[in-house]
Chains A and B, each alone.
Chain A
């Protein structure tokens, strides 16, 4: 690994599969006839995290906080503005996905795949199941039709669909079934890293559980590593090994799931926890509603982006941007007062 991996070497024995360092994605705001750039939306602003092989990192945050952009930068579906995305390839070499030329990126594509949020938009309505699921193999060199048909049947069974459905078109399937097709396509190339961008948020609650359990089963069977983007804390808690909380394009806190939910260290995480409804009428809500709105990523506040809404903000919070620091083993927080605050999480249940 590179020398600049203090975060990693401190906390783990194994090397991470993916190490994101200082990732930035700014979208220019253009105005007027000549399309002059008048500012930038800082969708992803200096994000750092890593994912170990075989684990699931849950990435949570409010709508518009940059979760999806982060996940797309990692797969180079969008080109990041800055930072590094170090990926340990199957060959053993560590490559920086953020800088990789397109041709080499294409060679790396089979190793990392994506599951999309909306299963109605992510399947080409003009292709049948066989074409959809076998296309990854076709474009990556498996041209024999029978070989692909066998593999598609195998994949469909793996995700719980009947192979006889191969000739059907996506319009024949419900949302949950479509998401299974998307998963089958993502697994077609035997990837190591799967980025799931809110894979269940467009589904009914009853179907959500099925798809989540499918993802967990597949992870066990195929030794997959997940980056799981979501805004639903209960879903994240169910599936993640570790959880990263994002706020306005920055990581607020990263910790193992239990630690994060039991003893959050960042006031924003605590506020999120407090907003989770408890299914017990006797428990009195201790919810402290946050004041104000989420700041615009085009015009973020000074210092800590959370300070205008933070009940614990001090003078230093307005001036200095807090850095992500490890305050307990494996528990990283970007807050000036992380060490002194006693915050409530969701007690283990």
Chain B
């Protein structure tokens, strides 16, 4: 009896967790189903997107980079234009933890030595001297988002009055802090990409939409225009257009001019896509239904047709931003885009154009890494969004 009873006794011990799980899981399925039934489109997209781990990580990276673009002053340690000709070509100073005297964060100071043969200044780490680094330290003054005056920085020396400086990514030819310049360059490069893509999207949706919705001669003209623009080799055209910008234009003027030049040639692909979608959507039953219940044209277009390709537009633009960033970087690198004193990734890389920099100061190439990380993150993110974009497929 007792041996026969043993399994049922041990079973109830094993069962409760599974029984509990079942009790918890079953209503969960019910609630989940109801949640799916009432889930609007963006929720379905988000649920699908979440499953794409790499894209999710890229999304976080992109958000982080976006905060840099928004608040470069906060992330930078020194004013980006502050030059010190004595302190040129200082190699990157690594951030270290837990010094002997109990300092939590510090960098090793550097000391300059004249090379007796080449007579060039060479910087070596000074083992004895450390510069304590503080989070949220006080530094140069700036306006947060252009509005709030403050002097708080993510990283800074503990005592700003001591005159101590540290360079996380070293310094360039003129002794300017590369880290801070990279932060400011991020703002320019990223925003050019974003604004150029937004302009392209605007042009693409407008012209593609007109072309697809109205059809006929309008369609014919716009399509031939797109073909013409696409048949032009983009690089020489950009070079010609940017080279024709007046040399005496201010930094802001060049910035806007380049944005417009990039987007004027960039809208064609999106325009084609939007047109194709409009053409097929026009025949969809739910669009006909909207017309039959008396919706006016604007309502049919903006309430019924455009929302069905929101997600595709978001995906397409996420994939277009890195292309724009590369274009800007490339133009600036050739000296045709942004020009000093403006700071962009291309301008920073221009510094690394000659053999001397690559041999003596290879850290000047680090902005290239920033370009690669950003472009990769945006591409993976765009892929993830594109895969998640159509939850009904």
Give the interface of A toward B (CB within 8 A).
72, 75, 77, 106, 109-110, 113-114, 116-118, 121-126, 128, 135-136, 139-140, 167-169, 171-172, 182, 185, 188-189
Is the CB of B249 closer than 8 A to any CB of chain A?
Answer: no
Assess whether A124 is in contact with B38, with CB atoms less than 8 Å apart: no
Q: A123 vs B288: C-alpha distance in the bound complex, in angstroms? A: 10
B286 at the interface (CB under 8 A from A): yes
Which of A106, A140, A172, A185 is B289 in contact with, Cβ under 8 Å? A185
Asked if residues B284 and A75 are in contact (CB atoms below 8 Å), the reply is no
Nearest-Cβ distance from residue A38 to partner chain B, whole angstroms: 18
Interface flag for B269 (CB, 8 Å): no
Which of B6-14, B75-83, B291-299, B351-359 interfaces with chain A?
B291-299
Known: A114-B292, A185-B293. 10 other contacts (CB 8 A): A72-B288, A109-B293, A109-B294, A114-B289, A121-B285, A128-B38, A135-B295, A139-B296, A172-B36, A189-B293
- Let me know if B294 and A139 touch, CB within 8 A: yes
With A139-B295, A139-B296 as known contacts, state yes or no: A124 contacts B290, CB within 8 Å. yes
Contact mask for chain B residues 197-228; partner A; CB cutoff 8 A; 1 contact, 0 none: 00000000000000000000000000000000
- In whole angstroms, how far apart are the Cα atoms of A140 and B36 in the complex? 31
* Contact yes or no, A139 B40, CB < 8 A: no
The bracket for how many chain B residues form the interface is 20 to 34
Asked if B292 and A139 make an inter-chain contact with CB atoms under 8 angstroms apart, the answer reads: no
**In the complex, what residues of B have CB within 8 A of residue A114's CB?**
288-289, 292
Q: Which residues of B contact A118 (CB under 8 A)?
A: 285
B40 close to A126 (CB less than 8 A): yes
Interface of A is mostly: loop
Residues of A with C-beta under 8 A to B294: 106, 109-110, 136, 139-140, 189
Write out the residue numbers on chain B whose beta carbons fall within 8 Å of the beta carbon of A139: 293-296, 299
Residue numbers in A under 8 Å from B285 (CB-CB): 116-118, 121-122
Q: Cβ of B292 and Cβ of A168 under 8 Å apart? A: no
Are B293 and A122 in contact (CB-based, < 8 A)? no
Question: Would you call A128 and B40 a contact (CB within 8 A)?
Answer: yes
A77 touches B292 (CB 8 A): yes
> In the complex, A270→B291 CA distance in Å?
38
Whole-angstrom distance from the CB of A228 to the nearest CB of chain B? 17
A26 to B42, CA, bound (A): 41
> In the assembled complex, how far is the CB of residue B308 from the closest CB belonging to chain A, in whole angstroms?
7
Contacts of B284 in A (CB 8 A): 121
| Nearest-neighbor residue (CB-CB) of A197 within chain B | B285
A135, B293: Cβ atoms closer than 8 Å: yes
Q: Is B392 in the interface zone, CB < 8 Å from A?
A: yes
Would you give the 0/1 interface string for B21-60, flagging 1 where the beta carbon is closer than 8 Å to chain A?
Answer: 0000000000000001111110000000000000000000
Chain B residues closer than 8 Å to A106, beta-carbon distance: 294, 296
Q: How far is the CB of A69 from chain B (nearest CB, A)?
A: 13
A168 near B286 with CB under 8 A, answer no
Q: How many angstroms between the C-alpha atoms of A251 and B60 in the bound complex?
A: 64
Q: Residue on B with the closest CB to A123?
A: B286
CB–CB A109/B292 < 8 A: yes
Return chain B residues, CB-CB under 8 Å to A117.
285
Report the minimum CB–CB distance from B311 to chain A (whole Å): 10
Which residues of the partner chain A approach B290 to less than 8 Å between Cβ atoms?
124, 135
In the assembled complex, the Cα of A182 lies from the Cα of B290 at a distance in Å of 12
- 30 contacts across the A-B interface (CB closer than 8 A): A72-B288, A77-B291, A77-B292, A106-B296, A109-B292, A109-B293, A109-B294, A113-B292, A114-B289, A114-B292, A121-B284, A121-B285, A122-B285, A122-B286, A124-B286, A124-B290, A125-B308, A125-B392, A126-B307, A128-B38, A135-B293, A139-B299, A140-B294, A168-B37, A168-B38, A169-B38, A169-B39, A171-B36, A172-B38, A188-B293
Min CB distance B314 to A, Å, is 14
- Chain A residues closer than 8 Å to B307, beta-carbon distance: 126
A75: nearest chain-B partner, CB-CB: B292
Check if B304 is an interface residue, CB within 8 A of chain A: yes
Residues of A within 8 A of B41 (CB): 125-126, 169
Closest Cβ of chain B to A172, distance in Å, is 3
How far apart sit A257 and B40, CA to CA, in the bound complex (Å)? 45
Given contacts A169-B39, A172-B37, contact A124 B304 (CB under 8 A): yes
Contact with A along B290-325 (1 / 0, CB 8 A): 111111100100001001100000000000000000
Q: How far apart sit A77 and B38, CA to CA, in the bound complex (Å)?
A: 31
- What's the nearest-Cβ distance from chain A to residue B280, in Å? 11
Chain B residues whose CB sits within 8 angstroms of the CB of A168 once the complex forms: 37-38
A178 to chain B, nearest CB (A): 11
- Check B37–A126 contact: CB distance below 8 A: no
